[in-house]
Amino acid sequence: MWQMVYLFIAPEKVYRNFNYRKQTKSQFARDDPAFLVLLVGCLCGRIMENLKMYQMYKTLNCFFLLVTSIGFAWVLSLGFVQTILFTLYVVFVDCIFCGMIVATMLWLIANRYFRDRNSDFDMEWGYAFDVHLNAFFPPLILLHFIQLFFYHPLISRDWFVSTFIGNTIWLLALGYYIYITFLGYNVVPALKNTRIILVTLPLLCLFYVMTLIIGWNLSVSLMYYYHYRVL
């Protein structure tokens, strides 16, 4: 739980725990799937009964299940079955499948181009996937939770301020993802030149400005995409 909170307010503290794990267990990656299970719980509101922390997180995850399911059913006008299909799509495609692709690409890049040539260090793939999970949580909350409260009354309108607010939420979400990803690789001592990852931030800001100039509301496009892919 504390890791999820710190990913918003102080993501650097999360990776201090990864350094401690490296010193005590000789690996950066998490040795249990608890964070992934909790993240999936935030997406679909379910946690396996055999987790020791189930009672602690049950209320929180049921809350996310209720809010996100009702929220998207309301915003996208989805039925019950469509809401279930949408939730499964977000969990297994958006989060896990796409995350595996991103993690694999960055894992290969890190070991080939970022690794210190004088070191025999080989970053494990599991750590790259952990970095993705950490980076995925803030965009999840911003785009799949907070945004819902403003979509119908404001963001969906054909106003400049609507496009500005909707696209700004996207800017924050993707900015969080890039920055937390950078922190994840920057904390590994054997990796050099990881600041290259931050080069994508100016490109993101440029893209953000361009969307405002042409009046492209990213949030509305996202809602259309979600709606028609689950019909």
- pLDDT of 39: 52
- pLDDT of 9: 63
| Domain residue ranges of the chain, discontinuous segments joined by + | 1-23+32-229
Residue type, 7: L
- pLDDT of 127: 87
On whether the CB atoms of residues 28 and 72 are closer than 8 A, the answer is no
Quickly list H helices, 110-159.
125-141, 148-150
How far apart are alpha carbons 48 and 95 in whole angstroms? 18
Phi, psi of 57 (to 5 degrees): -100, -5
Question: For the chain, what is the mean pLDDT?
Answer: 76
Q: What is the DSSP letter of 50?
A: T
Lowest mean pLDDT among 43-57, 80-94, 99-113, 188-202: 43-57
Read off the pLDDT of residues 16-53 as tens digits, 9 standing for 90 and up. Answer: 655 544 444 444 444 445 444 445 555 544 333 333 33
- pLDDT of 229: 65
With tokens 């990881």, the residue in question is 194
Listed residue (189, 188, 132) closest to 7, CA to CA: 132
